[in-house]
Structure 1
Amino acid sequence: MSVEDYTDYKGAVMLWKIIPPFLIVFGTTGNTITIIVLLQKRLRNSPTSIFLATLAMSDILALTTGLLRQWIKYTFDVDIREDLTVSGCKFHWFIVYVVTQFSSWMLICVTVERVISTFMPHKRRVFCKMRFASITVCAILCFLVSLNAHYLFGYGNLVRNVDNETELERCMPTTDSYAHFIIYSWTWIDLCVFYLIPMLVMIIGNSMIIYKVFDSQRRSRRTVAPTSNPSVTAQRRKTSSLTVLLMFVSALFIICITPIVVYPIGEPYWKEGAPEHKVATMFLVETMANLLMYVNHSVNFVVYFLSGSKFRSEVNRVVCCKNITVIRQQTTVSRSGI
């Protein structure tokens, strides 16, 4: 029996055919709404809004480049990465890694901005200006572009001689040394950039924020009556809302991303000499890990809506305003037709 004949392999292919359309439609719609809401006049002057809007754009690119390619590959038997030109192959590898890593680093920016706002509010005007946020986004993008530029030079079509016959392998590392780098070195670099550094920053930063929030609440209970100062109560609610949002986003990131960064590290060792049925099982595990990663790119809108009161109210305001505009237009048309 070949790998394709095993139930695990067939189940993995079925997952690639069924789940991606839902994630792409839901994720693209939700992230588009997120961008529209965060760029509203009431929110767009906040560095956090800029970081989250940029994160939403990056998530859309991750879904439409990485996940869409997998769905097309297993549904229509067409691999847009391998069937494209050599330049298209290089660029696809490059863009998928850049946008997924970029999403992680936007979460770093949000966490650091909230830590500065919480612990050094007097420095917030210096480090949390819109210009500084824009420069930070551009600097991170330039860093990730440079880090992943090796894909633009190392991948291509590889000609092999097998049993005196020439075989063409598309979209492969063109040298043995580069292939060794991708398998045994790059997986660790990507692990640090894509997962470990963002995870550590979010855990440490969010722990600091939680400590500060509870410490501030404890002190305010001793010095100020909860109902005697409305501004204190409002600020406390705002801080709590942002803290809850960060907690959910960080937890979602860790849960969804951990499997896909752990699997590639062990894959070269697990696959070596493995029987066909084990390879099929590994493909199923890899599929579920990949889909879980794309879930993270798809559902941030739900997290923002459920845990961010300000975001939720802005969504309602935008939707209500649009509904009112539509009603007014329909009323105008009906009156002009009388």
Structure 2
Amino acid sequence: MNVTTFPSQDFYYHFELIQTISIIFSPLILTLCAVGNFLSYLVLISRHLRKQPTACYLAVLCVIEIGTCFTGLLRQFLIDAFKIDIRTMEHLTINPYFRTIFCRTHIYLTYVFLRLSPIIVVVVTIQRYLYVSKKFPCMQQKICFQIFFIIICVCACESHFLVYYEYTLSDTRPKYEQKMECTVNKENYPKYYQFRSQYYGKISLGLFTLLPLILMIIFNGLIIQTIHRSAKRSKQKNASKKRIITRMLLTVSLFFTILTSPASIYIALASPTYQLSRYYFLQWTLLRLLFYLCHSVNFLLYCVSGSIFRQEFLAIILCQSSSSHQKRRQIRQGQ
């Protein structure tokens, strides 16, 4: 008797623990993401900072990070807290056609935002190196074209979600349960199902986790080396400004790597059988929250690592121009 009841109690404990963790921390991360990225966007597009090519990329990154959290983390929070799945809209319509539309649209946007984040971080890192090394001039028109080109390419690469995903029977639960979800019908699309379940995760791990990690390490190292050399030859004021902007980017790159890599590697390497265990859901919940936390803390990172960012933020809060703020600061220093 004890042998049959203990597993159910153990499973119930893990299920309650997962829901409690999600319900407590998800709203905090979502709030931090929305407020922090909105404030960061306002500061980065301010009159003085938007002249910096790096600030333009980081402003776009703010919008992408809001999209990442509110397509991914918000969905899971609504499921855990209110049993509402915005991916299928089962609470709004019983029409399977409309549920398939919601399914395809939501999962497509989710993966588009997920893919754009590491690409933008890598591109802005490469651009920063070219800028500080003066090897390639970066104009505002070129930045807009590059961002537009990146978005179009990512949208095209992830378009398979709009074709193969639908509101259909679950591929992980027994058929007698008749559990419907947003997934691939392996009977209708057997080749794509095999690709999606066996290869897509590993390809994504290589292209959107390991490759960006390698590129960020390489080009951040080159940036540090270039800044160190130019500081000896250039004026201290210009070198100091370059170091401040570069420090902001290095901090973002470092935290992006540390907080997002564990979840990406875990989901790609976890076997399908292990993904059905109760331990997987608890571990994945913690790693998922860590992943989305990365998309919510950039405002704090900018404030800590960039004095220019702090000055612009205070100028916006106090409704003052940054130039007048700097003049008063110079007067106080002179006194």
User: In the TM superposition, what is the alpha-carbon distance from 1:301 to its structure 2 partner?
Assistant: 0.8
**Residue-pair matches, total:** 303
SS at match of 1:298: coil
Matched, 1:170 2:181: yes
Distance 1:166 1:205 in 2: 51
TM-score under structure 1 length normalisation = 0.83
Q: Secondary structure at the match of 1:321?
A: coil
Q: Which residue of 1 aligns with 2:94?
A: none
Structure 1 stretches of 4+ with a deviation exceeding 3 A read 6-9, 159-166
Residues in 2 aligned to 1:74 and 1:179: alpha-carbon distance in whole angstroms: 27
In structure 1, the partner of 2:71 is 65
Partner of residue 248 from structure 1, selected from 247, 251, 255 = 251
Equivalent residue for 1:133, pick from 115, 137, 143? 143
Q: What residue in structure 1 maps to residue 29 of structure 2?
A: 23
Identical columns (%): 27
Deviation per CA, 1:50-87: give whole Å up to 9, x if none.
Answer: 21111000111111111111110000111111335111
Deviation at 1:304, TM superposition (A): 0.9
Contact 1:115 1:205 in 2 (8 A): yes
Equivalences for residues 136-285 of structure 1 within 5 A: 136-159=146-169, 167=178, 169-175=180-186, 176-217=190-231, 219-220=232-233, 232-268=235-271, 271=274, 279-285=277-283
Determine which of 10, 13, 17 is the counterpart of 1:11: 17
Find the aligned partners of 1:212 and 1:135 in 2 and give their Cα distance.
26
Q: Deviations over 1:239-274 (max 9, x none)?
A: 2212221221111011111111111222225618x7
**Uncovered stretches (5+) of structure 2, i.e. residues with no partner:** 1-6, 91-98, 322-335
- The answer to whether the 8 A contact 1:20-1:67 is kept is yes
Code of the residue aligned with 1:38 in structure 2: it is L
1:101 maps onto 2:101 in alignment = no
Q: Is the 8 A contact 2:260 2:294 kept in 1?
A: yes
Residues 8 and 159 of structure 1, relative CA distance in 2, 3 Å threshold:
closer
- Provide closer, same or farther for how the CA distance between residues 79 and 131 of structure 1 changes in structure 2, counting only shifts above 3 A: same
Q: Which has the higher contact order (CA 8 A, sep 6+)?
A: 1
Which residue identity lines up with residue 102 of structure 2 in the other structure?
Answer: G
Give the CA deviation at 1:7: 3.2
Rounded Cα–Cα distance in structure 2 between residues aligned with 1:7 and 1:286: 16
Q: RMSD in angstroms over aligned alpha carbons?
A: 2.4
Contact 1:20 1:71 in 2 (8 A): yes
**TM-score w.r.t. structure 2 length?**
0.84
Q: What's the secondary structure of 1:268's corresponding residue?
A: coil
